[in-house]
Amino acid sequence: MGGKGHSSRSQPDHRAPTPTPQPLPGISVITPSFNQGRYLRQCIESVRDQGYPGLEHVVMDGGSDDSTVPILRSFGDRVRWRSGPDGGQAAAINQGIRETTGDYVLWLNSDDFLRPGALHALGACAAANPDADLIYARADMVDGRGERTRAYPTFAFKRSDLRRKCYVCQPSVLIRRAALERVGLLSEALDLCFDYELWLRIGREGQLVFCDRVVAASRHYGQTKTASRRLRALIEAGYLMRAHFGVASTRWSAKWVAHRWSLDRSRFLTPWGVFTALASAKRYRDRFDARRAPSPRGRRLLAALERPPVLHASLGITPAPEPKPGVGHESSAKRSGAAAS
């Protein structure tokens, strides 16, 4: 009688319920390209091998005269593409965004590539953070052969840090289309820093979420625009600092001095070299100080940054006609006039 028996009534289950997997959002991948035939096939195949449901991929080629078009044709109707002169890399990406329909957008330059499972990781992060305007992840830096050299220096989002450096690696970024409807597309007035400017624009009020997984490979070699036009990149960054914050940060001034050092070390290897470096940093900060009148060229650039291109016709842009599904379009215009993308 005093023994412990088991009740016939069912006991409550205190285990946590299994979360219901969120459906993956639609993703559109846009690849701008110009004379990158030696890397293009790897880029396209890295997207195709993702096995992501409902994926859109469009290649916007600037009228390449290398092996690009034969490579695109070799994919048949499995890749949507067009080739012909464009307005530059940012314009090509913007046009690709307008011609696609995914809830999220990722642009992948033709010399970069995705790691296996990248889109599933980004898509799952987006589904788990539906209010996020931008998802970014880790990426590897690779050389011209595609061999890993080091990790891209990135970390969890902090708005104040984004002013000091661009720690968001572009091929790892997934952008919510609704965010682009709100803040606008890439600034076509910029040739090198249009991605960083968009991060700053979204980051002013939007939500950025870090996905702690390696999803992409960013190729760095001597012929990339960023590597071969470092001076121009630093000038564009200075104008971004002026437009968004009123003055260039100390870190960007230091980057300017470091670049000047790499061009002519003899100027700094003197008894007064420290003063030369400080004066160079001050000139950079003064040049991009909003309290000073910009040059005519700078004034035009700043005006363009205030009015980025928009996504929809209702905002003043007439969308391009819908391309025929699965059919590449090759412009009959002369290729020699194409802008580098």
Question: In 10 A of CB 49, how many CB atoms?
Answer: 13
Interval 169-197: pLDDT, tens: 999 999 999 999 999 999 999 999 999 99
Determine the pLDDT at residue 221.
80
CA distance 96 to 165: 28
CA distance 36 to 68: 7
Determine the pLDDT at residue 17.
54
pLDDT at position 52 over 50: yes
Interval 115-132: pLDDT, tens: 999 999 999 999 999 999
pLDDT at position 319 over 60: no
Determine the pLDDT at residue 160.
83
* Lowest-confidence region among 55-64, 245-254, 270-279: 270-279
Q: What percentage of the chain has pLDDT greater than the value 70?
A: 83
Enclosing H/E stretch for 60: strand 56-61
Nearest partner of 109 among 212, 177, 192, 1, judged by Cα: 192
What distance, in Å, lies between the first and last C-alpha atoms of the chain? 86
Interval 156-166: pLDDT, tens: 888 888 888 89
Altogether, the residues listed in the chain come to a count of 341
Interval 28-42: pLDDT, tens: 999 999 999 999 999
Enclosing H/E stretch for 149: strand 148-151
Residue carrying structure tokens 């996905």: 211
Q: Cβ(170)–Cβ(218) under 8 Å?
A: yes
Determine the pLDDT at residue 177.
97
Six-digit token string for 290:
């909003």
Q: Which residue has the higher pLDDT, 1 or 176?
A: 176
Please, what's the b/e burial string for 208-228 (b: 16 or more CB within 10 A of its CB; e: otherwise)?
Answer: bbbbebbbbbbbbeeeeeeee
Six-digit token string for 89:
């890399």
pLDDT bin (cut points 50, 70, 90) of residue 235 is very high
pLDDT at position 233 over 80: yes
Interval 268-277: pLDDT, tens: 778 777 888 8
Mean pLDDT to the nearest integer, 301-313: 88
Nearest partner of 135 among 58, 188, 213, judged by Cα: 213
Six-digit token string for 26:
């639609």
Please, what's the b/e burial string for 232-258 (b: 16 or more CB within 10 A of its CB; e: otherwise)?
Answer: ebbbbbbbbbbbeeebbbeebbebbbe
Interval 259-298: pLDDT, tens: 888 888 777 778 777 888 888 899 999 999 999 999 999 9
What domains, with CATH codes, occur in the chain?
27-228 (3.90.550.10), 231-298 (no CATH)
Q: Cβ(31)–Cβ(60) under 8 Å?
A: yes
Q: Which residue has the higher pLDDT, 304 or 158?
A: 304
Q: Which residue has the higher pLDDT, 157 or 323?
A: 157
CA distance 227 to 9: 72
Instruction: Give, to the nearest 10 degrees, the angle between helix 194-203 and helix 230-245.
Output: 20
pLDDT at position 53 over 70: yes
Determine the pLDDT at residue 223.
63
Determine the pLDDT at residue 266.
77
Mean pLDDT over the full length of the chain: 85
